[in-house]
Amino acid sequence: MHHFLKCPACEGQLEKTGSGLQCETCKKKVPTAHDGTPIFIDNFKENEVKSHNNKTSRLKSVIKKILHAPHHSTYNDLTSSHSEPKELLALLKKEPEDSIIINIGSLSKNLQSLHKGILNLDICHYPNIDFVADCCDLPFKDNSIDMIIFKNVLEHVRDPAQALKEIRRVLKKGGILYAKVPFLQPFHAVPDDFQRYSKNGLKELFKEYEELGFGVSVGGGSMVSWIVREYLAILTSFGNDKLYRLGLHFWGWLTFWIKYSDLALKKNKYASHIASAFYGIYKK
């Protein structure tokens, strides 16, 4: 049993029982999903996003991959933003093997090949999830986590101040927070979308931490590629859902190349003015 989990009622130690988890102190039971994943959200429903769970045939997967337009964004080293950024990879290499690393808002990604201590948390019961929980009410004890990955999540949180308060609470003194947060991006609801942050906004947001690193994660070229794709898809959809989705693919093939202009922005001192997203590395 993970020693860093706490009872959601009395903060006591949880123990594994035949039907799930139970608090040693108050005897409150924590329900589990069919695969044994602990669920720390009251009145939880299987609100999984289908695109992360649907199983398709190999042929359909290949066809879909061929027809799907290239992604609109790259990291600043021009690697695909579907992968993990170089700054995060470097951090994970430095973390001791016994570190506890929580990947908040992980969707269905499995990053344990990068570090065996990574555990996934999300509000949905995706594949590869270790804890179904809300980042505004983390099920972990105070000062119990070595590192937190908080990538592409803050814009989707209704109460960002509470989420950051919880992250700071559970991080050990000297613990590391890796955050990636959007600045200029179109609306993207997973499951919803609430806010954006400028460079100065993020400096203010994380001012209680020691900043170990900060920079543009995804540049202005990727931002333009994404926005132009969305604009043209919306313009030619005439309000029709199917035309909009088709437009994303069609216009995506014609506009994806704009993202590579980020190469020219890498050393430009004004690049942060039009960044798609920033990354920050912080120490508690």
Domain chopping of the chain, boundaries: 31-44+66-283
What pLDDT, on the 0 to 100 scale, is given for residue 62? 67
What pLDDT, on the 0 to 100 scale, is given for residue 50? 46
φ/ψ of 139, rounded to 5, equals: -85, 35
Rounded to whole angstroms, the Cα distance separating 9 from 29 reads 10
Following DSSP, what letter does each residue of the chain receive, concatenated? --TTBB-TTT--BEEEETTEEEETTT-PEEPB-TT--BB-STT------GGGT----HHHHHHHHHHSPPPS-B-TTS-BTTS--HHHHHHHHHS-TT--EEEET-TT---TTT-TTEEEEESS--TT-SEE--TTS--B-TT-EEEEEEES-GGG-S-HHHHHHHHHHHEEEEEEEEEEEESS-----SS-------HHHHHHHTTTSEEEEEEEEE-HHHHHHHHHHHHHHHHTTTT-HHHHHHHHHHHHHHHGGGGGGGGGGTT-TTGGGG-SEEEEEEE-
Pick the CATH number of 31-44+66-283 from 3.40.50.150, 3.30.800.10, 3.90.190.20, 3.90.1150.10: 3.40.50.150
What pLDDT, on the 0 to 100 scale, is given for residue 1? 57
How far the first Cα of the chain sits from its last, in Å, is 26
Residue 263 tokens read as: 């190469």
What pLDDT, on the 0 to 100 scale, is given for residue 279? 96
φ/ψ of 282, rounded to 5, equals: -130, 145
CB 252 within 8 A of CB 69: yes
What pLDDT, on the 0 to 100 scale, is given for residue 140? 95
What pLDDT, on the 0 to 100 scale, is given for residue 30? 85
Rounded to whole angstroms, the Cα distance separating 128 from 87 reads 23
CB 226 within 8 A of CB 73: yes
Residue 264 tokens read as: 């020219």
CB 139 within 8 A of CB 4: no
Rounded to whole angstroms, the Cα distance separating 77 from 158 reads 31
Rounded to whole angstroms, the Cα distance separating 66 from 249 reads 11
Show pLDDT as tens, one digit a residue, over the chain (284 residues): 588 998 888 888 888 887 778 888 888 888 888 888 889 888 776 654 444 554 556 666 666 666 788 899 998 888 887 788 899 999 999 999 999 999 999 888 888 888 999 999 999 898 899 999 999 999 999 999 999 999 999 999 999 999 999 999 999 999 999 999 999 999 999 889 999 999 999 999 999 999 999 999 999 999 999 999 999 999 999 999 999 999 999 999 999 999 999 999 988 999 999 999 999 999 99
